[in-house]
């Protein structure tokens, strides 16, 4: 049975404001080489184990290269540096976590991204998922509703040189119409139904990956496909457990 993954859990220990991050230098990157290689092997094994349910028994070479390149240790608090490449979510403060690498890889792979694509991300969080996307596409637009989380992620992504990511603080339920339509949309919080604004902002032929289901109920990762005539279809993937998509006032 596929794992039920808890993402950005409010049940993790709260750290308050996001603190200092693990060193992102080249020396630190090298020191994490063994842990990173072990993680990549684990991702490959998990993809095989869950392939019957996800339709992805192996992640693409491009996605695996992005997972290898993005310095996850730069996105975790220094106190969690020893677990930076563990295949688990880790607290980043404000009741949020950095995503489990397997879920990041799976959701990214399900988008079938091209190098010239423009992607909308709902829920910036630590910025880790946005960085992985940025390695694969032309442009990433990412929205986060929690102001200190959004500001910290934006500053970190700039520091790491991700100039093809634009972030903003706001209600992701409404998307980012100024930059629509998008080749792909990824949502990192659960909602009972796909927000109509996101469907409208997805290009014909585009794909959206989103966890669907009410809080406290069984949720499933879904791949939404938008046809050329504007109609949509959905493909169910793994059971998951995400925090709810937060709405603005």
Q: Please, how many CA atoms are within 13 Å of residue 204, restricted to the half-sphere of its CB? A: 5
Q: Using omega within 30 degrees of 0 as the cis cutoff, is the peptide bond preceding 168 cis?
A: no
Name which of 167, 216, 172 is nearest 194 in CA terms: 172
For residue range 18-46, list pLDDT tens digits in order. 344 555 555 555 689 999 999 999 999 99
Q: Report how far Cα 139 is from the mean position of its chain's Cα atoms.
A: 15
Mean pLDDT of the chain: 88
> What is the per-residue pLDDT for 217?
81
Does residue 136 surpass a pLDDT of 80?
Answer: yes
Query: Length of the chain, please?
Result: 249
Can you list the alpha helix ranges (DSSP code H) found in the chain?
A: 26-31, 33-54, 61-69, 101-110, 128-134, 147-159, 196-200
Q: Which has the closest alpha carbon to 144: 180, 107, 172?
A: 172
Is residue 213 classed exposed, middle or buried when 0-12, 13-18 and 19+ CB atoms within 10 A define those classes?
buried
Catalytic residue among 74, 99, 126, 237: 99
Q: Mind listing the pLDDT tens digit for each residue in 165-216?
A: 999 999 999 999 999 999 999 999 889 999 999 999 999 999 999 999 977 7
Task: Please answer whether residues 111 and 23 qualify as being in contact, where contact means their C-beta atoms are separated by less than 8 angstroms.
Answer: no
Pairing of strands 96-98, 165-169: unpaired
* pLDDT tens-digit readout, 222-240: 999 999 999 999 999 998 8
**pLDDT score recorded for residue 12:** 28
CA distance readout (Å), 57 to 7, 39, 53, 109, 202 = 22, 16, 9, 11, 26
Homologous superfamily, domain 5-242: Vaccinia Virus protein VP39 (3.40.50.150)
Q: Is 74 a catalytic residue?
A: no
**The pLDDT of residue 2 is above 70:** no
């Amino acid at each position: 049975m596929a794992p039920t993954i808890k993402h950005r859990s409010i049940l993790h220990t709260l750290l308050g404001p996001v603190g200092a991050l693990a060193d992102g230098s080249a020396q630190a990157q090298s020191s994490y080489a063994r842990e990173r290689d072990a993680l990549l092997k684990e991702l490959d094994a998990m993809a095989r184990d869950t392939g019957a349910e996800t339709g992805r028994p192996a992640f693409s070479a491009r996605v695996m290269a992005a997972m290898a390149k993005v310095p996850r240790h730069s996105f975790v608090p220094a106190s969690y540096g020893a677990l930076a490449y563990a295949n688990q979510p880790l607290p980043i403060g404000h009741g949020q976590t950095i995503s489990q690498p397997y879920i990041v890889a799976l959701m990214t792979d399900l988008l079938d991204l091209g190098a010239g694509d423009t992607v909308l991300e709902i829920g910036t969080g630590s910025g880790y998922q946005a960085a992985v996307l940025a390695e694969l596409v032309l442009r990433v637009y990412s929205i986060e509703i929690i102001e200190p989380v959004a500001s910290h992620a934006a500053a970190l992504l700039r520091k790491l040189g991700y100039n093809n990511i634009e972030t903003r603080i706001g209600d992701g339920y409404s998307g980012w119409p100024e930059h629509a339509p998008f080749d792909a949309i990824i949502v990192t919080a659960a909602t009972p139904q796909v927000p109509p604004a996101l469907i409208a902002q997805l290009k014909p032929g585009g794909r959206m990956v989103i966890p669907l289901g009410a809080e406290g109920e069984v949720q499933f990762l879904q791949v939404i496909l938008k046809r050329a005539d504007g109609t949509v279809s959905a493909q169910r993937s793994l059971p998951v457990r995400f925090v709810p998509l937060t709405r603005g006032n």
